[in-house]
């Protein structure tokens, strides 16, 4: 069974550009989470989807970040326009709807804004 | 003040040693406690979780939670070089892996 897959693994963009990160959760996992780790800091929650609905987006830093999960399958996280402080590693995780004791993480997308 | 405090290390011990990793937290609403292991350039991988105070053992790993002191620990017995990784504690106020609050992670190296 495939795990959580994230694309790209690494992205380098210039300040002001747009970047879209993609996450493919484990098949059948209705819960999908986005987290972020900036340099030297802890991993922080961004938002939580249940199927295609945003359950909790309290961790989204500002309106330059837009997350979508059309059809309740894969999810995208768009940053527009990117700023230097957006650099970090973006993790996606997924879990089953009712057996959510374990969230499975992807390998992360390392975003560098220059 | 951070909700979860974890010493980032680095921590270096000889093979076979007992390793103790710890986190403290301030939010008394946390009721679900986890330890994740993260190898370089990989995502976090769940090692153990527990809902309540007390000990939970799984092979060479023991997780300990003291909710009265807001303190959790992970012990690794007979440590192996393959245990070298970053260990992250994480917590949630819900009964599940939702909206996890992470510690900064402790980088551990086991020397052969």
Cβ–Cβ contacts within 10 Å for residue A97, how many? 11
Average pLDDT over residues B24-40: 94
| Residue range A60-82, pLDDT digits in tens | 999 999 999 988 899 999 999 99
More confident residue, A114 or B31: A114
| Residue B2 confidence (pLDDT) | 86
Strand partners, A4: none
Residues of chain B with pLDDT > 90, as a percent, come to 82
Contact between B97 and A102 under an 8 Å Cβ cutoff? The reply is yes
Contact B44 A56 (CB under 8 A): no
Q: Which residue out of B26, B43, B47, B52 would a mutagenesis test of the A interface target, given it has the greatest number of A Cβ atoms within 10 Å?
A: B43
Q: Which region holds residue A55: left if phi is over 0, alpha if psi is between -120 and 50, else beta?
A: alpha
User: What residues of B are in contact with residue A43 (Cβ under 8 Å)?
Assistant: 44, 88, 90, 100, 102, 105
| Residue range B69-106, pLDDT digits in tens | 999 999 999 999 999 999 999 999 887 778 999 999 99
pLDDT at A32 over 90: yes
| Residue A1 confidence (pLDDT) | 64
Residues B82, A42, A34: CA angle, nearest 5 degrees: 95
Q: CA A21, A25, A31, A32: dihedral to nearest 10 degrees?
A: -10
Beta strand A88-95 with B71-76: parallel, antiparallel or unpaired? unpaired
Average pLDDT, chain A: 94
pLDDT band for position B4 (cuts 50, 70, 90): very high
The dihedrals phi and psi of B101, each to the nearest 5 degrees, come to -110, 120
| Residue A101 confidence (pLDDT) | 75
């Amino acid at each position: 069974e495939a795990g959580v897959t994230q694309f790209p693994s690494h992205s380098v963009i210039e300040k002001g550009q747009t970047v879209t990160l993609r996450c493919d959760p484990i098949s059948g996992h209705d819960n999908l989470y986005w987290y972020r780790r900036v340099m030297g800091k802890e991993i922080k929650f961004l938002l939580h989807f249940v199927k295609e609905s945003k359950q909790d987006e309290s961790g989204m830093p500002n309106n330059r970040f837009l997350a979508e999960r059309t059809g309740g399958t894969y999810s995208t996280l768009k940053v527009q326009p990117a700023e230097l402080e957006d650099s970090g590693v973006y993790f996606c995780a997924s879990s089953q709807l009712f057996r959510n004791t374990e969230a499975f993480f992807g390998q992360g997308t390392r975003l560098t804004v220059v | 003040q951070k909700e979860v405090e974890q010493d980032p290390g680095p921590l270096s011990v000889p093979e076979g040693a007992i390793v103790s990793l710890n986190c403290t937290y301030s939010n008394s609403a946390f009721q679900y406690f986890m330890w994740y292991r993260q190898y370089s350039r990989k995502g976090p991988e769940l090692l153990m979780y527990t809902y309540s105070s007390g000990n939970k053992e799984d092979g060479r790993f023991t997780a300990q939670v003291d909710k009265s002191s807001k303190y959790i620990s992970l012990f690794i017995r007979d440590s192996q070089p393959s245990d070298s990784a970053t260990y992250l504690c994480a917590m949630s106020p819900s009964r599940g892996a939702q909206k996890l609050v992470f510690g900064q992670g402790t980088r551990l190296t086991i020397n052969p």
